[in-house]
Amino acid sequence: MESPRSEMMLIDGIWRNASDGGTVDVENPANRAVVATVPKATADDLAEALAAAERVRGSWSETNSWQRSAILRRAANNIRERLDEIALLLTEEQGKTLPEARGEVNSAAEQFDWYADEARRIYGRTVEGPLGSVRAEVRHEAIGPVAAFTPWNFPVMLAARKLAPALAAGCPIILKPAEEAPSACLAMVRAVADAGVPAGAIAAVTGDPAFVSATLLDSPIIRKVSMTGSVRVGQILMSLASKHMAAVSFELGGHAPVIVCDDVDVKAVAALAVRTKYRNAGQVCVAPTRFLVARSILDEFEAEFTRASAALALGDGMDGASEVGPLCSARRHDDFAALVEDAVSRGAVATTGGVSLREKLGGHFYAPTVLRDIPADARVLQEEPFGPVALLVAYDDLNEAVELANNTQFGLAGYVFTDDVSRAQLLSERLRVGMVGVNTFAIANAAVPFSGVGLSGMGAESGAEGIQMYLRPKTVVTGISETLH
């Protein structure tokens, strides 16, 4: 067996180990073998990253926006040139299939391409005031050093969603990759740093997440916190950020409803839903999860969905025949299995799946699962399952469907499938979510904001809105003489 890779972290332009030599193991979820170690950052390491960010804060924000744009464009090109290398690391540590990994890396490059343009479009405005003796303008300036925390389900793309707008705005950024799958993220950071980002303007630190977050957010240097992850962690980070009144933006959990109307092509919608539901083994915050289906077509939809789910090939993401990989970690597998077991114990029926394949396949695998007849008190209807399960629920009229769809504290994504334009319009307006897909599940790209309501978070990533999270307005009012001399 090959020895695990030894990764390094980036602090003040230098790739290095932890100051005390500490490391953390990283496993391959498909076979549970340790494949890498990463440094376990110390307080001294984090103090160096903070000091470097503060040192370059002024010079990086004052760098001409066209120069920042050029650096981001080179970063996008570097990522694409290293796509296969990064994708292999991603599949090895996160578990998703190689085609999915390549798609994620491409999406990361698109973030840098988009914000290379947005860097040159940080506009202010002039304001007509009440007095002729003053002139007022509003400028948008970099908010300052950023602490960014990213999860394991899309460890490359979600890091890019934070790195690209922060750097475009002129903010130094200290990134904490997910401890479960750090290597691909670190490889992406190297591609960005190699594009010409000055030392100190980008850092990537690894180690214990609670220690890293508490240490970084205890510093008044950090002026913005961006995190993608669980509601619980978001609440902890918000509390920590309040000490120095750092700005925050959070993309947290989801529990996406899918309203399937009685006028659709059932077979086509079910096939599309299955392809999307089990992407990344269901570990997607905007994954369709609660399928609210018109009662008149429920049996047909269930039959099509169940057949297609049962036919999916599970296996190591490195295997070209695999369609669904493992769950990312032992903890994720066990938490997910507990949700399914709770639902079944309360009377839910699994039309396929409902069983762990960990012992059979060797990794953290769980069979694609379809549940129906789910009792209202089942935890899976309220807690984000974040795994390969589809919940089928019948409705009798569209008002009931909307009520069921909005019956959680989450509000990230929602979907509507109908051939009736009036239904599509009204349902999209009444869903309490940040994003709606009508007759499509493809709702996320670099050009449009990604945001949620309720416990799904605050702020936005991607789109023109994303860079605003890293800027602060400054009003300048100048008194002038009203006559020319």
Catalytic residue annotation = 251, 285
Tokens of 322: 């695999």
Order of strands, sheet of 23-28, starting from the edge strand that comes earlier in the sequence = 5-6, 33-39, 23-28
Q: How far apart are CA 191 and CA 82, in angstroms?
A: 8
Q: How far apart are CA 384 and CA 259, in angstroms?
A: 18
- In sign, the C-alpha dihedral spanning 177, 179, 185, 186 is positive
Please check whether residue 390 is in contact with residue 305, taking contact to mean a CB–CB distance below 8 angstroms.
yes
- Phi and psi (nearest 5°) for 346? -95, 0
Is residue 48 classed exposed, middle or buried when 0-12, 13-18 and 19+ CB atoms within 10 A define those classes? buried
Q: How far apart are CA 485 and CA 483, in angstroms?
A: 6
Q: How far apart are CA 386 and CA 28, in angstroms?
A: 19
Q: How far apart are CA 258 and CA 140, in angstroms?
A: 39
Q: How far apart are CA 22 and CA 43, in angstroms?
A: 12
Cα within 13 Å of Cα(244), Cβ side: 17
Report the DSSP beta bridge partners of residue 248: 225
Please check whether residue 474 is in contact with residue 139, taking contact to mean a CB–CB distance below 8 angstroms.
yes
Q: How far apart are CA 230 and CA 250, in angstroms?
A: 9
Q: How far apart are CA 166 and CA 471, in angstroms?
A: 9
Q: Give me the helix-helix angle, 65-81 and 83-94, nearest 10°.
A: 70
- Phi and psi (nearest 5°) for 228? -115, 125
Residues across the chain: 485
Q: Are strands 173-176 and 146-149 parallel, antiparallel or unpaired?
A: parallel
Q: How far apart are CA 166 and CA 468, in angstroms?
A: 9
Q: How far apart are CA 138 and CA 388, in angstroms?
A: 48
Residue 363: strand, helix, or coil:
coil
Cβ neighbours of 485 (radius 10 Å): 3
Distance in Å from the first CA to the final CA of the chain:
84
Tokens of 333: 């597998």
Q: How far apart are CA 140 and CA 14, in angstroms?
A: 31
